[in-house]
A and B are shown apart, each in its own frame.
Chain A
Amino acid sequence: MNHLASRKKKHLKENLEAFAYLAPAGIILLVFWFLPVVLSVYVSLTNWKGADTLDMVRFVGLRNYLWAFRDEYFIKSLLNTFNYVIVSVPTTLVVALIIAMLLNAKIKCAHIFRTVYFLPFVTTWVAISIVWKYFYHREFGLANHLLMNYLHLGGLNWLSEPRGIVEMLLAPLGIDIGSPLLAGPSLAMVSIILTTVWRDIGFCMIIFLAGLQNIDRSYYEAAEIDGASWLQKFRHITFPLLSPVTFFLLIISMINAFKVFVPILIMTPTGGPDNTTSTMVFYLYEKGFRGLWLLGYAAAIAYILFVIIMLLTIIQNVILGRRVHYEA
């Protein structure tokens, strides 16, 4: 009996101690993470503005959400965000995979190349966005200098070009695209995408490289004995064994891409030509913290973003997750 009581006492002590360890992080998470997630739902259902306090606001039900889907600027920001994600994520992953595979071949100075390709990722977003904005300048930017004086092509308007990239590519062939849905991201958006691809390659490359180095060399040796070509080795060994890593990168790259904000704000502070670079987070910032300070409406936009990210994570986990090849 005595033994049992002492064990119980010890158990209670361990519980108390554990909660004491959890408390510092727990309190911060409770106040600044859990509470806001709940409060956010409430705010999105009110007409909260700027410096309003709880007693000044009125409950408006789902009006903010209904308004969002009738707001052509919001719809446009949704389309821009999707364009951004669809173009930037695959480009980054493909380029990063190619570089990782080149670095994984037995070459000298691999660590120097690795550092060079990784460097953009550690630099600060705000500063490099300023650099790229200058790079793209219509009148005296380096991008047009390279195009006009080295490649002898015409200059482009880069960040102030509202036409879609697909539209621009097809225009010389005489094909006219009517629908803005098919026009693709505007050249202004593509310019921003190039910047983010440039920055994110390093991050994806490092993870791909770690994944490639985890693949047992004996698979390749066996394939070489069987006379497999380079493409066959990639198709049947590298790609399937790398799929967990690719899948992980795909998810986090997409989630991050949906949240793009800093390069948009710095490179196109007003949302770009014809609002073609205004993404969801940028629009949320515009509505919530500039001009009218419509916090209720901005909270609704944030929740829509949240739901999209949630759905993506779930869909990818259910559909792709099963097909992903995991090593035993």
Chain B
Amino acid sequence: MNEASTSSGYLMILLVCIYAAIIATVCYKVIVQKKRQILTSAIVYHVLVIGGLFMILPFYWMAITAFKSLQEAIAFPPSWIPTEWRWQNFLDAWNAPPGDLTFGRYFFVSIVTAVASTAGTLATAALAAYAFAKMRFIGKGLFFYLVLAMMMVPGQVLLIPNYIILQTLNWINTYQALIVPWLASVFCIFLMRQFFMTIPDDLWDAAQIDGSGRFRYLIMVILPLSKPVLITSGIFTFLASWNSLLWPLIVTNSPHMRTLMVGLQNFTEEAGSKYHLLMAASTFAIIPVIILFFFLQRFFIQGIARTGLKD
């Protein structure tokens, strides 16, 4: 028995004791104090905790395997806690890409792509949504219907013709190819338009009296009032760009233009069964998104909840 498994043994005994105490309390309340509803909530908690452990398990497994040695990562039966904590794995994985490339380059390409397309999408969507929500023009209904229809078209249909268009423009392997086609989002236009419609027109009348033009009004009044919807749209666009695989896989083929996702996908092919390094690479690919999520959790959840409910 080594040190790690002895300490995990003590931890297990402690957890079992705590659990037994909780169960004893529940039994006491149900049998002696006759509080039946405690039993129901005990079952609810059990289901939720067991389910929750199942949700966490893959993350735990990824994180601990990232520290294991290759031998330990491919040993059977596997160990629940690494016998040695190899921080070196993260460095090895970081430097694994071919030539003088590192995962740093992939991160850089991904960040440039995601930030540029998020900023661009928010700008174009806010302008278009403003026109749809607050202005009168010829063909408004038709244009809006076209935008809605576009939401139903699966991206895969656009893939091949867009590839051909980019090839004609000689944009393969450039940042333009990764960014420009995604500078407009029908989903964001729709989301923002719905929100802008709820802003009362009295504000516009007041702004006009103060001598404000439409653009100034949009920037100074509408956008500050629309922070939640802007953040939600921003998160969705950023995540879609960060997580996309098929599009960057197709429009880039040089290792220098790989996004993080394409880099990881390539790494799975090159690394073979070096699962400790694969898990280390997966860990540093997942961590930025998880950090982003914890900071913006409220907007994530509100944004998603809002998309499911009609206004």
Contact = CB atoms under 8 A, between A and B. Distances in A.
Interface of A: 11, 14-15, 17-19, 21-22, 24-26, 28-29, 31-37, 39-40, 43, 48, 51, 53, 99, 102-103, 105, 107, 113-120, 122-128, 130-135, 137, 139-140, 142, 144-145, 148-149, 198, 201, 203, 206-207, 209-211, 214, 244-245, 248-249, 255, 258-259, 261-262, 265-266, 269, 281, 284-285, 288-289, 295, 298-299, 302-303, 305-306, 309-310, 313
A259 B246 CA distance: 11
Name B's interface SS.
Answer: helix
Interface of B: 41, 44-45, 47-48, 51-52, 54-59, 61-62, 65, 73-78, 123-125, 127-128, 130-131, 135-138, 140, 143, 146-147, 150, 152-165, 167-168, 180-181, 183-184, 186, 189, 214, 239, 242-243, 245-246, 249-250, 261, 264-265, 268-269, 275, 278-279, 281-283, 285-286, 289-290, 292-293, 297, 300-301, 304-310
Contacts of A40: 157-158, 160-161
Contacts of A288: 159-160
A48 B183 contact: no
Given A36-B165, A105-B41, A244-B310, A134 B278 contact: yes
A128 B278 CA distance: 11
Contact of A126 (B45, B245, B306, B307): B245
A21 B124 CA distance: 8
A139 B164 contact: no
Given A107-B44, A124-B289, A134-B278, A17 B184 contact: no
B242 A28 contact: no
A191 B212 CA distance: 59
A200 B293 CA distance: 16
14 contacts: A36-B158, A40-B158, A51-B167, A102-B48, A107-B41, A124-B285, A126-B245, A126-B265, A131-B282, A135-B58, A244-B310, A265-B245, A305-B154, A305-B157
A28 B117 CA distance: 12
B150 to A, nearest CB: 6
A82 to B, nearest CB: 16
Nearest to A204: B308
A259 B61 contact: no
Contact of B304 (A18, A207, A262, A313): A207
